[in-house]
Structure 1
């Protein structure tokens, strides 16, 4: 890929951001993206950022994907979160035959959503049968297809194992119309993501829609992007959402400080040395977090493009950078929120929703403190 399509994705994201910002209150109120926002994302090809070029996607490198999400997150975090989630789901196209992938992603609206790993599917002639309910399907109100990550059992009920003895996991794909949806997403933040639950009962899934996810041997696409595990791609994407959210919140605090005269204060906020110093330090923290995240992504992508191998060291580096960036972004948002004073608590101002959205992000798996333990364990084991 020459990068032209990828750069264009960022420009397109920047161009639709004002429309998304104007719709942010409605997205919050209705708890789903507005039709106008979804149409703009589809029309500009943003959902197809990580879809293979062979299917008409951009197959963009991680850094472009991250920049795209940053731009959208500055306008609305829920929209960026859905876009990130659904874009990564599209990477599974690389593990499907071309006809099946075409059916899913090139039939409007061509959006796939899924939830967390749960339940088993029983192998039967020609495919699998599955019953279960899955949670955390962000972007499902816009989706036309759903996925279910399941453990596979044989016809006799015994677990099916891979060559290394671990349980075989597959992602079963089916039209959203085959599932029962449950509107359960009543959350403190990221309210507009429609992160709902879905269930099926004794649903038959043909073999061609039962993909092995993150298994290099199962890939049908040659590009290095599809050697990057979806979990690590989520980490990079959601950390980028955090950066965009933090950038917008800090910018709002800076704009407020330029104009506001605090009650009982002798001077405007912009002339207050404590405010000046706080803004300077916080700006440095945010720029450092962004540089670290993008530097890690760049180094990983350089190695992966050259070797075609995503190593445990890459996984550890991405996990550390993403977790730290999300937590650092939360600190920036907290500082900006406190800096705004009483202004921040009113829904008419650009602080309280971003504060809630940021703290919803910190509760996700990508921001867990246990990631630091995993990385520390690896560093100690290597004697570094």
Structure 2
């Protein structure tokens, strides 16, 4: 897609951010995106940012997708998280035959969500049968289709193997009406994501509704975006969400400090040297984290566009930048929360929910400390 047309996604996100901000309290209360927000995301094509152009999607460059999520996250983290989750799930279309992808993504609302990997699907004539329950399906309450990543087993229960003897894992896809959703998401933050569990019993999955997700040789759409794969795209997208939350929280602290007089203080917060220093250092931390994340994404995209290869080095660089950015964003939110003092603890002010949302983000898989170990191991091995 032409970059100027793709950037329109960022402008559209910016345009609907005020609506999302107005709906944020209701999203938090109901633990679901509101109908008005879902309609705005659909009408503006934001769920289709990473869908192939051959299916009418935007197939946007990765940095445009990241900027789009940042804009939404400044208004509401739960909305941005759902959009990021379902937006990346749509990339599975690049591994499906055209007619199957058309049925899933071009039958309204055309939204796919999935959760954690687990369980097995048994081979039967024409496809697979599965009985299982999965967790962490962010965006499932808006979805028309669900997916799951499962091990494939033969009729006798033995695992089917790939050519390299590793267990075969496929992504299976099925209509949301085929599953039972369990309302379990009572969480400290990202409350509005509806990150619930879902279950199927003896469900038949036709062969064509399965795919080898993130296997380059199985791609039907060969363009650069899909070489990145969903794993690294999740990393970059959710790191961008963390930046949006951090930006909004720090901006709220700056606005507060410009006008607030602390208890027993003679002058306004803006004239307090300690506050000035903390704001300056925190602003530097946030700008540095954002610059690092986007520099990594741009370097990866440049090399990928030139060579067609998403290398282990790129994957490691993305993982490091995304993990570090999420951790830095959490520090920025903590600093902004601290600056706000007692003001920050009240639900009526723009700190408390963002504090909880940011710390929920920092507990997710994309922010695990073990990622540093993985990157360090690769560096020490000379990769």
TM-score, structure 1 length as denominator?
0.99
Helix, strand or coil at the partner of 1:228 = helix
Spell out the pairing of 1:82-161 with structure 2 (5 A cutoff): 82-161=82-161
Which residue number corresponds to residue 339 of structure 1? Answer: 339
Which residue number corresponds to residue 374 of structure 1? Answer: 374
Measure, in 2, the Cα distance between the counterparts of 1:99 and 1:297.
32
Measure, in 2, the Cα distance between the counterparts of 1:98 and 1:362.
37
Measure, in 2, the Cα distance between the counterparts of 1:50 and 1:229.
11
Measure, in 1, the Cα distance between the counterparts of 2:310 and 2:260.
50
Determine whether 1:35 maps to 2:71.
no
Deviation string 1:339-381 (CA, Å, 9 cap, x unpaired) is: 0000000010000000000000000010011111111111111
Deviation string 1:293-341 (CA, Å, 9 cap, x unpaired) is: 0000000111111111111111110000000000000000000001000
Q: In structure 2, list runs of 5 or more residues that go unmatched.
A: none
Q: Which moved more, 1:23-32 or 1:305-314?
A: 305-314
Helix, strand or coil at the partner of 2:33 = coil
Q: Note the aligned Cα RMSD (angstroms).
A: 0.8
Which residue number corresponds to residue 75 of structure 2? Answer: 75
- Cα drift, residue 4 of structure 1: 2.6
Measure, in 1, the Cα distance between the counterparts of 2:154 and 2:3.
44
Q: Which moved more, 1:104-113 or 1:161-170?
A: 161-170
Which residue number corresponds to residue 302 of structure 2? Answer: 302
Q: Which moved more, 1:303-312 or 1:288-297?
A: 303-312
Deviation string 1:162-204 (CA, Å, 9 cap, x unpaired) is: 1122111101100000001100000000000000000001100
Helix, strand or coil at the partner of 1:171 = strand
Helix, strand or coil at the partner of 1:325 = helix
Deviation string 1:29-70 (CA, Å, 9 cap, x unpaired) is: 000000000000000000000000000000011100000000
Measure, in 2, the Cα distance between the counterparts of 1:2 and 1:139.
29
Measure, in 2, the Cα distance between the counterparts of 1:78 and 1:6.
23
TM-score, structure 2 length as denominator?
0.99
Q: Which moved more, 1:133-142 or 1:298-307?
A: 298-307
- Cα drift, residue 5 of structure 1: 2.7
Spell out the pairing of 1:1-384 with structure 2 (5 A cutoff): 1-382=1-382
Q: In structure 1, list runs of 5 or more residues that go unmatched.
A: none
- Cα drift, residue 156 of structure 1: 2.2
Measure, in 2, the Cα distance between the counterparts of 1:289 and 1:143.
32
Measure, in 1, the Cα distance between the counterparts of 2:175 and 2:242.
31
Deviation string 1:216-238 (CA, Å, 9 cap, x unpaired) is: 11111121111112111000000
Measure, in 2, the Cα distance between the counterparts of 1:278 and 1:220.
50
Measure, in 2, the Cα distance between the counterparts of 1:203 and 1:211.
17
Deviation string 1:112-145 (CA, Å, 9 cap, x unpaired) is: 0000101000111110001100000000000000
